[in-house]
């Protein structure tokens, strides 16, 4: 499947087949995609715990759920809990940038040398950053990119997925999460019961309200020729709601014994 179409078919799927297991190899592919995501200084902050719904003790599972996510977690056979490891920078002490230099990813033409890392990058950037209150935010930005690659791989593999929050203290105790791991979200994963289109692409704010050129207040003008091209490549698809969406939701609720 072309990348543009994978982006286009992604929806937050909330109706999964609760009885259809997700193949282990597909879970691995999702994790492999996360691992290959871009991260500053090759730091690799993202950590993930794969949890199988049916392996959880009932009382633990009930405690993990939040009201806004309970049904989704009940229907999804697999949950991938994502965290950021705050200890990465201090434990590495500048070794990863040096590795990137040795591998040819960071070049002397751009000022990169082992000495530059020792005398500037580590003492002036990495060490202070890892002790800053803003550090978790910077880490979460990179982790979001890595996790999104895994999300898109799920759709490439014919699965559906939905990010939700979870009960952080319960997960910490249940899964042995270290103190220096910062919780992000849980990726609920399974085979979708709802249609592939899931009622159409979700509404988004106008393009020019989001993106600017040169300075804030000067919108990046949207070229309709590009829009038409992306429609042909199935990245931009028909917008929600589809005419039959409410009936689909009622049918799914009846099938699963959920409130209509």
pLDDT digits (tens, 9 = 90+) for 41-56: 899 999 999 999 999 9
Section 222-226 average pLDDT = 98
Instruction: Give the tens place of pLDDT for each residue, 122-155.
Output: 999 999 999 999 999 999 999 999 999 999 999 9
Section 91-118 average pLDDT = 96
**Taking the CA of residue 34 as centre, how many other CA atoms within 13 Å lie in the half-sphere pointing to its CB?**
25
| Residue 67 pLDDT class (50, 70, 90 cuts) | very high
* Cα gap 37→150, rounded to integer Å: 9
Does this model's pTM top 0.85? yes
- Residues of the chain with pLDDT > 90, as a percent, come to 98
Confidence at residue 51, expressed as pLDDT on a 0 to 100 scale:
98
Q: Where are the domains of the chain?
A: 14-193
Question: Of 53, 45, 110, which is closest to residue 82 (Cα–Cα)?
Answer: 45
Instruction: Give the tens place of pLDDT for each residue, 164-176.
Output: 999 999 999 999 9
Confidence at residue 232, expressed as pLDDT on a 0 to 100 scale:
98
41 backbone φψ class: left, alpha, beta (φ>0; ψ -120 to 50): left
CB 186 within 8 A of CB 163: yes
| Residue 104 pLDDT class (50, 70, 90 cuts) | very high
Phi, psi of 9 (to 5 degrees): -85, -5
Pick the CATH number of 14-193 from 3.30.365.10, 3.90.1150.10, 3.20.20.80, 3.40.109.10: 3.40.109.10
Instruction: Give the tens place of pLDDT for each residue, 182-209.
Output: 999 999 999 999 999 999 999 999 999 9
**CB 223: neighbour CB atoms within 10 A?**
9
CA angle 154, 156, 160 (to 5 degrees): 40
């Amino acid at each position: 499947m072309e990348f543009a179409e994978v982006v286009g078919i992604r929806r937050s799927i909330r109706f999964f087949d609760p009885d259809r297991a997700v193949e282990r190899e597909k879970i691995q592919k999702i994790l492999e995609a996360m691992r290959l995501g871009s991260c500053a200084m090759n730091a690799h902050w993202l950590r993930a715990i794969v949890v199988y719904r049916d392996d959880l003790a009932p009382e633990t599972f009930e405690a993990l759920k939040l009201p806004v996510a309970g049904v989704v977690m009940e229907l999804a056979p697999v949950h991938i809990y994502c965290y950021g490891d705050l200890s990465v920078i201090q434990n590495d002490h500048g070794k990863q940038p040096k590795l990137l230099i040795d591998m040819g990813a960071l070049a002397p033409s751009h000022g990169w040398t082992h000495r530059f890392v020792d005398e500037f990058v580590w003492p002036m950037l990495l060490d202070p950053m890892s002790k800053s209150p803003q550090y978790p935010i910077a880490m979460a930005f990179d982790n979001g990119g890595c996790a999104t690659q895994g999300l898109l791989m799920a759709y490439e593999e014919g699965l559906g997925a939905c990010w939700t929050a979870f009960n952080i203290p319960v997960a910490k105790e249940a899964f042995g999460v270290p103190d220096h791991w910062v919780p992000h979200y849980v990726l609920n994963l399974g085979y979708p019961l709802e249609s592939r289109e899931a009622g159409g692409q979700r509404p988004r704010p106008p393009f020019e309200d989001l993106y600017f050129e040169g300075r804030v207040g000067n919108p990046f003008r949207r070229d309709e020729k590009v829009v038409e091209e992306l429609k042909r490549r199935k990245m931009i698809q028909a917008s929600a709601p589809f005419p039959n969406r409410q009936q689909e939701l009622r049918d799914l609720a009846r099938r699963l014994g959920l409130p209509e």
